[in-house]
Amino acid sequence: MSTWARRARTIVASAGSVEVGVAGQGRPLGRHAVTPTGALLFSLGEAAPACAHLVVAGTSGPDILATAADVSGVSHPGRVRGLVRLGGRAEVLQRPVDEQLRSHLGVTEDGLVARLVPTSITLDWRVEVEGLREVVHVEAEDYTAADVDALAGWQDEWMVHLDSHHRQDLRRLVAGVVPLHESGVVRPVLADETGLVARESTPDAGDRDIRVHFPHVVRCGCQAVQALTGMLAVTR
């Protein structure tokens, strides 16, 4: 299983912003859901209001290109960490659709819910990438089989807290990994199971991403907080 497949699955699982394109028209989704294997569930009426009435439940729907964005909760230039584009033909779920799912998606009883099991996946990742970014193609089988990072959906609230209340602590921590520019501003960008990534921005040298590894792989937010607390205690 590739690292890129896991990254793509993590982005789709935790994305706060998803846009669905149907017949060349892209529309942001107000709500969506993701299955345990990474398929995307959404209201077909919301994605394609002009032609959803032409589709019959339980049949193949239109070709879909969906884009999931991973956006950092910390406001800074380059806060879009990555984009995942999912392509394939949507399947329109047979009625009746689970009431809880319909409620979450805002679909009426006679509305249509579409499921996209992607056959093409690309990842545009923008963290810890030097030079020109490369769009990576992810195999559908790898994407489906990949698991999701344990901090997905939780990390951004933590990143905002670190940036708001512990910026100097973070700077000391990063300075223990690499020398920092005196004029550089250090802000958190990412947290995952293996550690934190901070971005140093300087007027002359530009930006660079620096990873600070946890002492061990963490499996939940509580373990991440414990790991970072221990690391900060050493720097103090």
Does pLDDT of 153 surpass 80?
A: yes
What 3-state class would DSSP assign to 38? coil
Confidence at residue 132, expressed as pLDDT on a 0 to 100 scale: 61
Q: Which CATH class is domain 155-235?
A: alpha beta
Give per-residue pLDDT as tens, 87-146.
Answer: 999 999 998 899 999 999 999 988 899 999 999 999 999 999 876 677 999 999 999 999
Identify the band that residue 199 occupies on the pLDDT scale cut at 50, 70 and 90.
very high
pTM of the model: 0.91
Asked if CATH classification 2.30.110.10 holds for the domain at 3-145, the reply, yes or no, is: yes
Give CA–CA dist 169/225, Å, rounded. Answer: 14
pLDDT band at 71 (very low <50, low <70, confident <90, very high): very high
pLDDT band at residue 196 under the 50/70/90 scheme: very high
Q: Where are the domains of the chain?
A: 3-145, 155-235
Q: What is the DSSP letter of 96?
A: S
Task: Return the amino acid letter for 226.
Answer: Q
CA–CA distance, 49 with 43 (Å, rounded to integer): 10
The predicted structure's pLDDT at residue 131:
64
Any idea how long the chain is? 236
